[in-house]
Structure 1
C-alpha cells in the first residue's frame, strides 16, 4: 500500500490514535476525547501547534462529526492488532495504548508517519499541561 492510499481511512485514523495514545501513555481517553484528538492531529496549526497533517479546507464544520465512523473503525482495527486496550471504569469506556504500540510505531519511517508522531508528542505535552480547555475553546468557536 503506498503512502497516498491510506488518507482518510480507518487505518490512518487508527495509526493517529495509537500514535497519540502512545505519546499520552499511561493515560487513557474516552471515545469523544479521541475524536477531538484526531481532529486536532489533522488540523494542528489551527491549535497553535505544528503544521497540520492535512491541508486546510475552508468549511470544516462537518469534519469533526463526519470522521466519527473512521475513528471508531480505526480504534477497533488497532485493538485487533493489539495496539489499543479498553479500560472499563465507573465513568465509562477508555482507550489506552498497549506496550506493543511503541515498537510498531518505531518501524514506521514514512515522513507522514514521523509527522504524526511529532504532532502527537506536541499534543500530549499540551494536554498534560492544559487539559482539554484550550482544545474545547477553539472547537467551541469553530463548531458551536
Structure 2
C-alpha cells in the first residue's frame, strides 16, 4: 500500500495551498518549512484548531521536514502547480496560475480545513521576516519541550 501521510503528494498539496494563500508573494524553502509547520500546528500559535494531532515532541518534525518539502516542491513543480524564481537572493517558489483552479477542483473536507489554516498562516506570518517567524516558533517550542519533559517524568514514575 502506498504511503500517503507525509508523502511528497500530501505535502505537495499542502505547499500548493500555502503558496496560493501567500500569492503573489514568493517564499524560499526555509520559509515554506516554517510556515508549513505553523499550518499543521496552528492551534499552538493561537490560530484555528491544529490540522494534525498535538502529539508530544512534534518540534522534532522540523528536523526531517526540509527534504520532504523539497521533494514535494519538485513534484508539484513538475506538474506546473509551483513556479521557481531565481535571483541574487536565491531560489524562491510561488503558486502558478494553475494552482488555485487545481485546489478548487478538489472537494475534500481535509482540503477545506487546510486552506483555512493556510490563509490564517499567510495573514499571521506572511508579513514577518524569517527571524520573527522563528521567534514565534521558539516560544511554542519551549512549551512543547516542557510538555515532553513532563511526559518523560510520568513514564519513569509509572
TM-score by length of 1: 0.89
Shift in alpha-carbon separation, 1:6–1:96, aligned structure 2, 3 A: same
Matching of residue 73 in structure 1 with residue 65 in structure 2:
no
Give the unaligned 5+ runs of structure 2.
146-158
Question: Which residue of structure 1 aligns with residue 17 of structure 2?
Answer: 19
2:58 aligned counterpart, secondary structure:
coil
Question: Which residue of structure 1 aligns with residue 152 of structure 2?
Answer: none
Query: Is the CA contact (8 Å cut-off) linking 1:108 and 1:114 kept in structure 2?
Result: no
CA deviations 1:3-30 (Å, max 9, x no partner) are: xx62211111111111011111111000
1:28-107 superposed matches below 5 A: 28-107=26-105
Query: Is the CA contact (8 Å cut-off) linking 2:84 and 2:92 kept in structure 1?
Result: yes
Query: Is the CA contact (8 Å cut-off) linking 2:8 and 2:72 kept in structure 1?
Result: yes
Shift in alpha-carbon separation, 1:89–1:129, aligned structure 2, 3 A: closer
Question: Which residue of structure 2 aligns with residue 137 of structure 1?
Answer: 135
CA distance in 2, matches of 1:134, 1:46: 16
CA distance in 2, matches of 1:44, 1:126: 10
Once the 2 structures are TM-superposed, how far is the Cα of residue 127 of structure 1 from its aligned partner? 2.7
After TM superposition, what 4+ stretches of structure 1 lie above 6 angstroms from structure 2?
Answer: none
Give the unaligned 5+ runs of structure 1.
none
Query: How many residue pairs are counted as aligned between the two chains?
Result: 142
**Greater Cα radius of gyration, structure 1 or 2:** 2
Query: Is the CA contact (8 Å cut-off) linking 2:81 and 2:99 kept in structure 1?
Result: yes
